[in-house]
């Protein structure tokens, strides 16, 4: 096994050396072309030599047609120069740099908010081959930030939709689509076929898989993220001392500490900005222009319009992704390491909803259909039941059911921490009771039926308004209309999204 690993390292080192020599050769050609005096003389000599060598007719005319133009980059066509001229005029790119871009192969993982602008700008810049990996479908809620898709393509695979837009922008680009999840089973094979990997994903699990595959295959990784008003950008795995993502974050944070566009929102231009910069770093890597953002991280705050660049620590020798130990076991496929790397596994949202609901006793659950029937029977009268919406106030203001009342989960959690949950609940609910109720059903709901489960768990001990709670002993303070009320708390399984699907499609789904 050790000999196999050594051979793999030698092969990879040889490949790196070959790429370095190719870049040196291109640089030498560019320097030669930029020397006007010698360059003009060379072109003249070459043209004269071709003319003298060409057969001539009796009148002294050559049969060989004279070339319309000569370029330092032999592969560039007239259309290339006309289309990409503004890019080639840049001294740091030039004809040779453009040729490198045209020969470049890029793997883009994700065709969402980040991937939209990454794909469009790489296609526009003339990248030779672009492979887009995304198994998701276009949704209406994507379109405010995922500008590569259109309203007409809602329901289509994102990878295919993105490829169509890229081809419409640049018909000459070679675009591949992979409409399956990027996973430990296919990550290394995909990464090994490309020069640069760009991470346009939006979840922690995919970020670790992309990083580990890029680190093993020694491919530079352009990584970005965007959430709310903020974004981050860095280039990993692009040098001997440059860290990978896992050098900085060996293990993922707890799920509660991470957010997503679905739960916390995102300002559409933020992933657009970060995606543009990811495309820029990719072009710099391919062309050899400038200094890439390796060993540094760009931090963007769109709300306050602040941009900072911070230095990162160097590559860690004991890193489980790019450290010496990991490089020695590259012969072990990444998917065989999944058991020791649980961060690779990502549970779909639906499974999280079902798991959350099962945390409650059956008596504390109600289906959207049953909930709707109760609302219809009572005709929305608050005396007999209350619909308690525990989403954030921002989401409540977006859209809520008629006659529902807002009490965000963070407020309940704060009352619990402060030891005043029972008294504050009585104070809150007394404002929504007429004063003569003895039993009230409280239907707790949120967007997807996850937050509401946590709220229901907090409220269940308060079934009887006069019970001891929060560490209080004796008779708790009373409030008008709440002295002897029995509450029955029930979570609406699946939340408002399930209500939309199963009961009333006129309620917005988001």
User: Cβ of 383: how many Cβ atoms within 10 Å?
Assistant: 13
pLDDT over 50 at 467, yes or no: no
C-alpha–C-alpha distance, residues 375 and 105, integer Å: 58
pLDDT at 4: 62
Residue 349 has pLDDT above 90, yes or no: no
Q: Which residues are annotated as a binding site for Zn(2+)?
A: 244, 247, 319, 322
DSSP 225: E
Query: What pLDDT, in 10s, does the model give residues 128-142?
Result: 999 999 999 999 999
Residue ranges of the domains in the chain? 104-344, 353-502
Residue whose C-alpha is closest to residue 148's, from 128, 168, 131: 168
Residue 252, pLDDT score? 86
**Cross-strand bridge partners of residue 308:** 299
Give the separation between CA 453 and CA 455, rounded to whole angstroms.
Answer: 5
Are 295 and 248 in contact by the 8 Å Cβ rule? The answer is: no
SS3 of residue 62 by DSSP: strand
Letter string b/e over residues 213-235, b meaning 16 or more CB atoms within 10 A of that residue's CB? bbbbbbbbbbbbbbbebbbebbb
Cβ 26 vs Cβ 100: under 8 Å: yes
Distance between CA 19 and CA 238 in Å, rounded?
A: 13
Strands 105-109 and 196-199: parallel
261 catalytic? Reply is yes
- For the beta sheet containing 365-366, the strands, ordered from the edge strand earlier in sequence to the opposite edge, are 365-366, 486-492, 439-445, 385-389, 404-406
Average pLDDT score over the chain: 85
Topology annotation, domain 353-502: Oxidized Rhodanese; domain 1 (3.40.250)
d(CA 194, CA 38): 37
Do 104-344 and 353-502 come out as alike in CATH topology?
Answer: no
Query: Do residues 261 and 317 make contact, with C-beta atoms less than 8 angstroms apart?
Result: no
Element (H, E) at 19: helix 2-34
**Is residue 474 scored above 50 in pLDDT?**
no
Choice among 131, 446, 465, 482 that is catalytic: 446
pLDDT value of residue 26: 56
Give the total residue count for the chain.
Answer: 510
Binding residues: 113, 134, 141-145, 158, 202-203, 244, 247, 319, 322
User: pLDDT tens-digit profile of 154-194?
Assistant: 999 999 999 999 999 999 999 999 999 999 999 999 999 99
Query: So what's the pLDDT on residue 328?
Result: 81
Whose CA is closest to 396, among 495, 305, 317? 495
DSSP codes of every residue in 267-284 = -THHHHHHHHHHHHHHHH
Average pLDDT, stretch 43-59? 43
- Specify which residues 389 forms β-bridges with: 406, 445
How far from 429 is each of 378, 392, 403, 424, 445, CA to CA, in Å?
A: 19, 18, 14, 9, 16
Predicted pLDDT at 347:
53
pLDDT for residue 316 is more than 50: yes
The SS3 call for residue 333 is: coil
For residue 14, give the H/E element and its range: helix 2-34
How buried is 239 (Cβ within 10 angstroms: 0-12 exposed, 13-18 middle, 19+ buried)?
A: middle
Q: Coil, strand or helix: which one is 456?
A: helix
Helix (H, G, I), strand (E, B) or coil at 148: coil
CA 67 to chain centroid: 47
* Burial of residue 346 (number of CB atoms within 10 Å: 0-12, 13-18, 19+): middle
- Does the annotation count 237 as an active-site position? no
pLDDT beyond 70 at 475:
no
Q: How far apart are CA 384 and CA 406, in angstroms?
A: 17
Q: Where are the beta strands (DSSP E) in 129-281?
A: 129-133, 174-178, 196-199, 221-227, 230-236
Q: Architecture of domain 104-344 in CATH?
A: 3-Layer(aba) Sandwich (3.40)
Please pick, among 261, 273, 465, 482, the residue that the annotation labels catalytic: 261
Q: For 422-459, how does the pLDDT look when each residue is reduced to its tens digit (9 = 90+)?
A: 999 999 998 888 777 788 999 999 999 999 999 999 99
- The yes-or-no verdict on residue 286 having pLDDT over 60 is yes
Residue stretches of the annotated binding site for ATP: 113, 134, 141-145, 158, 202-203
Q: What is the pLDDT of residue 30?
A: 57
CB atoms within 10 A of CB 469: 19
Higher pLDDT, 327 or 186: 186
pLDDT at 24 over 90: no
pTM for this predicted structure = 0.72
- Which token pair is 41? 């003389």
Model confidence at 113: pLDDT above 90: yes
Which of 108-122, 243-257, 416-430 is predicted most confidently? 108-122
Q: What percent of the chain has pLDDT over 90?
A: 64
| pLDDT at residue number 357 | 67
Q: What is the pLDDT of residue 476?
A: 45
Confidence band, pLDDT 50/70/90 cuts, at residue 257: low
Q: With 60 as the cut, is the pLDDT of residue 40 above it?
A: no
**pLDDT at 439 (0 to 100):** 87
Dihedral of the alpha carbons of 299, 301, 307, 312, in degrees to the nearest 10: -10
Quote the pLDDT of residue 470: 44
pLDDT of residue 179: 96
CA–CA separation, 62 vs 256, rounded Å?
A: 77
Q: pLDDT tens for residues 482-508?
A: 557 889 999 999 999 999 999 999 999
pLDDT of residue 262: 67
pLDDT, residue 230, reads 97
Residue 351: Cβ-neighbour burial (10 angstroms; 0-12, 13-18, 19+): exposed
Structure tokens at 27: 């640089």
Within 13 Å and on the Cβ side, how many CA atoms surround 121? 20
Sheet of 230-236, strand order: 174-178, 129-133, 105-109, 196-199, 221-227, 230-236, 296-301, 306-311
Mean pLDDT for 61-86 is: 83
Residue 311, SS3? strand
Does the pLDDT of residue 299 top 60, yes or no?
A: yes
Per-residue pLDDT averaged across 200-224, rounded?
Answer: 95
Which tens digits make up the pLDDT trace of 264-273? 889 999 999 9
User: ∠ CA(94), CA(96), CA(100), 5° rounding?
Assistant: 115
In this structure, of 244-258, 335-349, 372-386, 467-481, the range with the lowest mean pLDDT score is: 467-481
């Amino acid at each position: 096994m050790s000999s196999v690993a050594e051979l793999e390292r030698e092969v990879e080192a040889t490949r790196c050396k070959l790429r370095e020599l190719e870049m040196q050769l291109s640089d030498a050609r560019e320097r030669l072309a930029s020397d006007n005096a010698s360059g003009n003389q060379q072109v003249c000599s070459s043209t004269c030599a071709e003319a003298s060598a060409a057969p001539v007719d009796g009148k002294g005319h050559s049969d060989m047609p004279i070339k319309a133009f000569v370029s330092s980059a032999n592969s560039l066509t007239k259309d290339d120069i006309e289309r990409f001229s503004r890019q080639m005029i840049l001294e740091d790119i030039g004809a040779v740099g453009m040729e490198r871009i045209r020969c470049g192969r890029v793997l883009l993982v994700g065709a969402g908010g980040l991937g939209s602008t990454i794909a469009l700008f790489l296609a526009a810049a003339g990248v030779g081959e672009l492979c887009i990996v995304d198994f998701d479908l276009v949704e209406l809620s994507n379109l405010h930030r995922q500008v590569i898709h259109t309203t007409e393509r809602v329901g289509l695979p994102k990878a295919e939709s993105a490829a169509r837009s890229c081809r419409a922008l640049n018909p000459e680009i070679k675009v591949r689509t992979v409409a399956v999840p990027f996973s430990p089973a296919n990550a290394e094979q995909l990464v090994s076929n490309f020069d640069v990997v760009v991470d346009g994903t939006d979840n922690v699990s995919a970020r670790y898989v992309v990083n580990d595959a890029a680190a093993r295959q020694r491919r530079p990784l352009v990584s970005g993220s965007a959430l709310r008003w903020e974004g981050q950008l860095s280039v990993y795995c692009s040098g001997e001392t440059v860290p990978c993502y896992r050098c900085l974050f060996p293990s993922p944070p707890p799920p509660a500490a991470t957010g997503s566009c679905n739960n916390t929102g995102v300002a559409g231009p933020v992933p657009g900005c970060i995606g543009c910069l990811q495309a820029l770093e990719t072009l710099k890597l391919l062309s050899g222009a400038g200094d890439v953002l390796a060993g540094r991280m760009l931090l963007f705050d769109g709300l306050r319009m602040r941009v900072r660049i911070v230095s990162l620590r160097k590559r860690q020798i004991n890193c489980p992704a790019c450290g010496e130990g990991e490089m020695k076991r590259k012969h072990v496929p990444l998917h065989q390491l999944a058991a020791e790397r649980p961060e690779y596994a990502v549970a779909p949202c639906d499974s999280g909803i079902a798991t959350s609901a099962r945390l409650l006793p059956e008596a504390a659950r109600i289906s959207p259909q049953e909930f709707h029937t109760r609302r219809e029977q009572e005709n929305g009268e608050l005396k007999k039941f209350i619909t308690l919406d525990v989403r954030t106030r921002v989401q409540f203001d977006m859209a809520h059911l008629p006659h529902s009342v807002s009490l965000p989960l963070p407020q309940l959690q704060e009352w619990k921490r402060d030891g005043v949950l029972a008294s504050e609940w009585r104070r809150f609910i007394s404002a929504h009771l007429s004063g003569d109720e003895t039993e009230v059903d409280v239907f707790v709901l949120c967007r997807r039926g996850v937050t509401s489960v946590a709220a229901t768990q907090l409220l269940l001990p308060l079934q009887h308004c006069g019970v001891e709670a929060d560490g209080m002993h004796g008779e708790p303070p009373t409030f008008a209309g709440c002295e002897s009320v029995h509450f029955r708390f029930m979570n609406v399984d699946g939340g408002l999204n399930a209500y939309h699907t199963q009961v009333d499609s006129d309620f917005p789904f988001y």
